[in-house]
């Protein structure tokens, strides 16, 4: 985290819907707990009581939400979540494993909704006091393959999952662009690989980050 003093580790997982973020977050949590680390596993939107209310609006509201209003709702959730969940956990030395953060807003509201990506990013940075994670794992998956996984799950689509393929193609391209711009923060993985292979690569990178932090 770039703002404030903390001793923990903050890992975010990004990627399109159906890329396997939940599976990998659970595997990473299990490994870290086995290593004796305190883990706080959370998500955006919905990582707090206030966030659950916002999540219901942005993902399950019936009817349109203006793109700028949608971006502001995500930023409001993010501001409260970082202040009440993430920062306290990092301050006490926990590892925060988080499903989605500001990169999702840049990809979904910036590229997907065709808003100004820099403005969307700056909005989230303002909302969180310039907070950025130590490591962001991007699980990259072709939108057609992702849709096949979502169809196989046989559950109702939320507002974003239900968007057309060109929306999800813009989102994927935006994620890859963000990773290319910040290679030190991102670990990009091919999400078509087996869950065990992906978990191993994530453990290796997180272990290296933990080791670097311990040496500082």
pLDDT tens-place string over residues 88-135 = 999 999 999 999 999 999 999 999 999 999 999 999 999 999 999 999
Q: Are 34 and 158 in contact (CB under 8 A)?
A: no
20 in a domain, yes or no?
yes
> Is 155 assigned to a binding site?
no
1 in a domain, yes or no?
no
2 in a domain, yes or no?
no
pLDDT band of 215, cuts 50, 70, 90: low
> Is 16 assigned to a binding site?
yes
Rounded alpha-carbon distances, angstroms, from residue 109 to 68, 123, 195: 8, 12, 28
> Is 15 assigned to a binding site?
yes
Number of domains in the chain: 1
Rounded Cα–Cα distance for residues 86 and 47 (Å): 9
The range of the structural domain enclosing residue 30 comes to: 9-215
> Is 20 assigned to a binding site?
yes
> Is 18 assigned to a binding site?
yes
> Is 129 assigned to a binding site?
no
pLDDT band of 5, cuts 50, 70, 90: very low
208 in a domain, yes or no?
yes
CATH number of the domain enclosing 175: 3.40.50.300
27 in a domain, yes or no?
yes
169 in a domain, yes or no?
yes
Instruction: Tell me the average pLDDT across 140-147.
Output: 90
211 in a domain, yes or no?
yes
97 in a domain, yes or no?
yes
pLDDT tens-place string over residues 27-85 = 999 999 999 999 999 999 999 999 999 999 998 887 889 999 999 999 999 999 999 99
């Amino acid at each position: 985290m770039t703002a404030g003093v903390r001793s923990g580790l903050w890992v975010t997982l990004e990627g399109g819907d159906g890329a396997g973020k939940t599976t990998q977050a659970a595997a990473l949590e299990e490994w870290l707990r086995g290593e004796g680390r305190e883990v706080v596993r959370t998500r955006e939107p919905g990582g707090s009581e206030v966030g659950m209310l916002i999540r219901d609006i942005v993902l399950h509201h019936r009817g349109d939400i203006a793109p700028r209003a949608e971006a502001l709702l995500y930023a409001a959730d993010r501001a409260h979540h970082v202040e009440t969940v993430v920062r306290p956990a990092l301050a006490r030395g926990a590892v925060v494993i988080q499903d989605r953060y500001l990169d999702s807003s840049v990809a979904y509201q910036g590229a997907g909704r065709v808003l100004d990506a820099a403005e969307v990013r700056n909005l989230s940075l303002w909302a969180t006091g310039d907070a950025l994670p130590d490591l962001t794992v991007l699980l990259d998956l072709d939108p057609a393959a992702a849709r096949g996984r979502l169809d196989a799950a046989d559950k109702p689509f939320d507002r974003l999952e239900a968007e057309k393929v060109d929306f999800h193609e813009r989102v994927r391209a935006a994620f890859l662009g963000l990773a290319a711009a910040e290679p030190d923060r991102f670990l990009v993985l091919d999400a078509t690989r087996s869950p065990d292979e992906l978990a191993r690569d994530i453990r290796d990178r997180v272990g290296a980050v933990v080791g670097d932090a311990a040496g500082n």
